[in-house]
Amino acid sequence: MNLLLEFPVAASLAACILQFGSAWKALGKGRRATGRAADGDLPGVSILKPLKGVDDRLLDNLESFCRLDYPRYEIVFCVQGASDPALRVARKVKEMHPEREIVVVMGECREGLNPKVNNMIPGYAAARYPFVLISDSNVAPAPGYLREALAHFRDPSVGLVSHLVRGIGAKTLGARLENQHLNTFILPSVSLLDRMFGMPCVVGKSMLMRRGALDAMGGLVSVKDYLAEDYVLGEMFRKAGKKVVISGSPMDNVNVYRTPRQFLSRHARWNRMRFSIAGAGYFAELFTNPVGLSLLMVAAAPGDAEAWTIAGGVAAAKMAMDYGMHRMLGDRSSPKWILLGPFRDMLAGGLWFSAFFSRNVEWRGRTLRITRGSRLVPVGEAPAMEPAAEAAQ
């Protein structure tokens, strides 16, 4: 047996147990803001929804924001260009919910390199309430979501509230891989960083902040050239001495028909992004994949029966934890899909290495290079210094 490999396998199993424990604590009631404020005391919120194409269940996702239990808010649908099929759906939602304040902003902003931020800049200018919620188009909140998120701001030191993300709705293999990865790796990792290391990792699918505070830091424009605008915003608030809170109420991310290729491509991009942000810290991620490491052990000694036994035991233990997450998140899909876990772990292990092979991403027809802190530069151009870049680093 190779102790050099046995130790990392044991360490990674321990890391998974910590992840699981952190998720359990994070999802517990203690992290949810409680106490109901009177409607008259609640500030108005502008919900910015950057739209791009028709995500799975787009109409339901957008409509779920029309059913929020909150007295005063507007929804600002942001679309880049009249040819985007999401525009038709946004207009339909506006027609179906005349009782809601809904604005559809169609812009052609090309200010930055991050198309999502470009898409939101005209909507941000049109938004009129003192709080801004940035919310992706593929999420569907529960009616109490906004009230719960706002309640965190009763603590005046809070600058930004983000949410854990739970993948739901899978009907294809790619979507099952996606949702499992979100539920058994991303969510526990975000919880671990937040609960154990005090490093709240802002998830761009849901970010609530005071507009005045964001404006004081330069507004949305300050993150226009970052791939991980969510991480950079979190860092900006932290550097400004404000707390970043990860709420214990998970936000549903709807993935129904993703293909395996979409799963691989998205997480290869996210890995590159995390490598550019974490640098050497990215290597710690290896220790969250005990299945991948135990398979390396088997590959190093294929004739060793003990290595196979350990790999089998590790896979079983990891699936048991995956099942625990499945229960904890109230996942409605059949638990039999937990059996897909070791395969997903193998894929995730392979994807981990992909971050070292390229730092380029293809985004809306442009090739961009991810540099330090997830700053984007067009391939072939040198990055210019910006105050926000320094703030993020």
Partner 1 sequence: MMMCDFHIHTTWSDGSVDLPEVVDIYGQAGFDVIAITDHVYNSDSTIGSWAERLNKTIAEENFPRYLESLERETERAMARYGMLLIPGVEITKNYLSEEESAHVLLLDLKRYISADLGWDAIFREARGQGALVVACHPHHTDHEIHDTLYFWNHRQKYAPHFDAWEVANRTDLFSVVSLSNYPILANGDFHKSQHLYSWKTLLPCLKTVEAVKECIRDNRGVAITMFRNGTARK
The contact set with partner 1 (CB under 8 A) reads 53-54, 56-60, 85, 88-89, 92, 96, 171-172, 256-257, 259, 364-366
Considering the complex, state which of residue 254 and residue 329 has its C-beta at the smaller distance from partner 1. 254
Give min distance, CB of 262 to partner 1, in A. Answer: 10
User: CB 36: neighbour CB atoms within 10 A?
Assistant: 11
Considering the complex, state which of residue 59 and residue 66 has its C-beta at the smaller distance from partner 1. 59
3-class secondary structure, 270: helix
Considering the complex, state which of residue 86 and residue 328 has its C-beta at the smaller distance from partner 1. 86
Give min distance, CB of 217 to partner 1, in A. Answer: 30
Considering the complex, state which of residue 85 and residue 279 has its C-beta at the smaller distance from partner 1. 85
Q: List the helix and strand counts (H, then E) for the chain.
A: 14, 11
Give min distance, CB of 369 to partner 1, in A. Answer: 17
Considering the complex, state which of residue 88 and residue 372 has its C-beta at the smaller distance from partner 1. 88
Give min distance, CB of 260 to partner 1, in A. Answer: 12
Q: Does residue 242 contact residue 160 with C-beta atoms inside 8 Å?
A: yes
Considering the complex, state which of residue 72 and residue 366 has its C-beta at the smaller distance from partner 1. 366
State yes or no: is 194 an active-site residue. Answer: no
Pick from 141, 118, 188: which is nearest to 45 by CA? Answer: 141
Give min distance, CB of 275 to partner 1, in A. Answer: 25
Give min distance, CB of 74 to partner 1, in A. Answer: 21
Amino acid (one-letter) located at 202: V
Give min distance, CB of 139 to partner 1, in A. Answer: 15
Considering the complex, state which of residue 112 and residue 292 has its C-beta at the smaller distance from partner 1. 112
Give min distance, CB of 106 to partner 1, in A. Answer: 15
Phi/psi class of residue 330: alpha, beta or left (left: φ > 0; alpha: ψ in -120 to 50)?
left
CA distance 202 to 181: 17
Pick from 259, 270, 220: which is nearest to 115 by CA? Answer: 220
DSSP string computed for 172-240: SHHHHHHHHHIIIIIHHHHHHHHHTT------TTEEEEEHHHHHHTT-GGGGTTBS-HHHHHHHHHHHT
Amino acid (one-letter) located at 152: H
The residue from 56, 194, 230, 331 that is catalytic is 230
Pick from 334, 329, 298: which is nearest to 314 by CA? Answer: 298
User: CB 357: neighbour CB atoms within 10 A?
Assistant: 9
DSSP string computed for 109-121: --SSS-HHHHHHH
Query: Dihedral (C-alpha) 313, 259, 201, 253: value to the nearest 10 degrees?
Result: -110
DSSP string computed for 57-121: THHHHHHHGGG-S-SSEEEEEEEESTT-THHHHHHHHHHH-TTSEEEEEEE---SSS-HHHHHHH
Considering the complex, state which of residue 67 and residue 171 has its C-beta at the smaller distance from partner 1. 171
Which residues, 6 or more positions from 294, have their beta carbon under 8 angstroms from its beta carbon?
9, 307, 310, 311, 314, 315
Residues serving a catalytic function are 230
